[in-house]
Amino acid sequence: MAYFKLAPASEKQVWSTKFLGDYVRTSGFEPYMGTGDNSIIRVNKDLTNQNGTIVHIPYFAALTGDGVTDDTPLVGNEEAMNNYSIGIRATLRRHAVAVTENTEFRTDLDIVNVARGALRDNRAQALRKDLVKMGQGIVTPGALVDGSYAEDVVKAYADASAAERNAYITANSDRVLFGDNKSQNTGVMSTSLSNITAGQKLSVSTLNKAVAMYYNTSTIAMNPYRTDDRQGREWLVCFVGAEGYRDLSLDPLIQRANLDARPRDVDTNPVFQGGDLVYGGVIIRRVQMDNVGAVGAAGTPVGNALLCGANALGVAWAKTPEPRVDNRDYGHVHGVGILEIRGQTKLSVKGVQTGMVNIYHSATADL
């Protein structure tokens, strides 16, 4: 009797697909990633089937006109739909560990599976760091050439110049909040950060102000994440560091909401289990992220929380993870590695981010 046997190439493809899913899930961002234009983190894999290093994600601005009424001609009163694109440059990324023949193995994939957990966790941490770095990054606008804007470039905060930081908070003044007061944005990044006092921690009051900013942007409008168009349910997600999550979890309004409005179930209530907080249409998710530094008033540590809706971030794979094995020392040592080509960015057009309010807040350490 002849039995079906999976071809080695297909076996690697199945392994790679599962590895990608597992490490994206481990990163903590998986629930908010998708290919649709309503996704908080838009995912693109167009380059996995063709050559190239840059993925271009289209962005169509919302219509702002009222149309016509009664007998007013529609011809000649059409509204131009502004459209732009955001480029994501994919970069080759590799990592590996060594496995000796003391570890039992039969095939290359069995060798790779020995180090699978460590490689998965490493790739998940790298994806998390890269997405947070872009979320906290500085948008620099593309040049205007022949009436069209070139694609923006997003730089890590540490890599941007003082002039680029200042231009960024000026162009995004309606979607950047310093401390608990919009007036603390002076147009100079260093001065604005120095206005943040130790007492200006993340709170429901600050979060509500950021939410109002999100919905009331004066330039390119931002949209929330919609889970059910029929019910009109809209959400924002706030990714916060450890200190910001600590301060929000201690806010009396959030504590009261968890006590009175959520089931007192040990398995689901964050009072007992930790996990996401939910308040006022905002999901508050704790993510490991670096602070800006001790740049607030009197050396106050400052964090940068990311309040996100649709089209906040983008990630693109030109090559999904692929296992590699390198044999040496007469077959005694096996190098076990992962190769992928990936890129990510904050989504923006004309120097303005399209789905995020950055909240700079006091992030004092525990005593």
The structure tokens 């095939």 sit at 107
Phi-psi region of 46 (alpha: psi -120 to 50; beta: other; left: phi over 0): alpha
Distance CA 44, CA 51 (A): 14
Q: Which CATH class is domain 10-62+82-136+313-349?
A: alpha beta
Distance CA 208, CA 236 (A): 11
pLDDT computed for residue 80 by the predictor: 72
41-44 and 352-353: which strand pairing?
unpaired
Distance CA 79, CA 310 (A): 23
Inter-residue contact 352 to 168 (CB < 8 Å): no
Question: Mind listing the pLDDT tens digit for each residue in 196-228?
Answer: 999 999 999 999 999 999 999 877 889 998 766
For helices 8-26 and 116-135, the axis angle rounded to 10 degrees is 50
pLDDT computed for residue 188 by the predictor: 98
pLDDT computed for residue 271 by the predictor: 47
Q: pTM value? A: 0.86
CA 156 to chain centre: 13
Q: Hey, what are 323's tokens? A: 């296992």
Over the chain (367 residues), the average pLDDT of each successive run of 10 is: 50 72 89 89 76 71 76 80 76 86 66 79 93 97 72 94 98 97 97 98 97 91 78 86 96 84 52 71 94 97 97 91 83 84 93 96 90
Distance CA 146, CA 298 (A): 47
Per-residue HEC secondary structure of 276-293 comes to: CEEECCEEEEECCCCCCE
Distance CA 299, CA 294 (A): 5
pLDDT computed for residue 137 by the predictor: 98
How far separated are the first and last CA of the chain, in Å rounded?
A: 71
Domain edges within the chain: 10-62+82-136+313-349, 171-311+350-362
Q: State which H helix or E strand residue 89 sits in.
A: strand 83-89
Question: DSSP assignment, residue 51?
Answer: -
